[in-house]
Amino acid sequence: MEGQAREAAAELEGEKEGDDELAPAETALVSYDPLQRYLTEIRRYALLSREEEHELALRYRERQDVEAAYRLVTANLRLVVMIAREYQRATRNLLDLIQEGNIGLMEAVKNFDPYRGIRFPSYAVWWIRAYIIRYLMNNWRMVKLGTTQAQRKLFFNLQKEKDRLEAEGIRPGPKLIAQRLDVKESEVIEMDQRLSSSDLSVDASTQEPDGRTLLDVLASAEATTEEKVSDAELRQQVSEKIRAFGDTLTGKEAVIFQSRLLAEEPLTLQEIGEQYGISRERVRQIEARLKKKLRAYLLSELKDLEDGVLDLI
């Protein structure tokens, strides 16, 4: 991991030197993009060797050394970007995810035990991911899951169906996917575009000669093959568990889950109350109970996260 991190840092420095050669229009686009400016800023923080990392962690744990904590955080900001990028399909504002991930990183510093014999980034990844997931879970209205049953089905199953077809040696075209998922071909195309869309300033003007973007370079700084597989599996698990939880609901709970927690434009408490002949307060109580049930369900199903991290969801 250390070798990959330093190689990525060297590549980023090379990119920084090459920025002066950009055309005026490209330079303007990069200079005034908040995300690009943040990525440029974090390049100046040096990565840590295993020995430096351990020494800093000991200083913070034993003496509450604030400077040591600061260095641990800044040296791992690239890791936060990598993890936030993996959840970008759920929201167009990557900076929001990075901000939440940075809070998780600081919590990881507070809770890390250097005597356990593991690298700090391997421990921090769970805290970072937990804060990002919690942010998404608490902001359903910002997560564009779609309002129709077909859109929700595609959000949770499109990538999984693509992977399944590719594993079978079949090209995952929109027509075939539509048939397999029992939705319209146009809906497959629309959702695929939504899930794969990204901001121009991230990809268009920061291309590496080999085709990689700046975020791709950052991503290579900390991830091992094992971590990448683990991250992909967790993302798939979260989507599957949310869908599975929804499938267990019936009656009023099912309606409130879809119409209040998942809907892009949720119905009001009054509208649902009138539909079922119950009070707004009763609808609110059912919604609150649903949120508790969903949290408990995820806590029981996502066993790969550490106990302390699970409490954040």
Q: Which fold has domain 2-142?
A: Four Helix Bundle (Hemerythrin (Met), subunit A) (1.20.120)
| Secondary structure class of 244 (helix, strand, coil) | helix
Between CA 227 and CA 122 the distance in angstroms is 8
- Model-level pTM? 0.42
CB 214 within 8 A of CB 109: no
Domain ranges in the chain? 2-142, 151-197
The amino acid at 242: I
Q: What is the pLDDT of residues 3-48, one digit of tens each?
A: 434 443 443 344 444 444 444 444 444 445 788 899 899 989 989 9
pLDDT at residue 130, rounded to an integer: 86
Q: What is the pLDDT of residues 183-217, one digit of tens each?
A: 889 888 877 776 654 332 223 333 334 444 433 43
Place of tokens 């899951």: 145
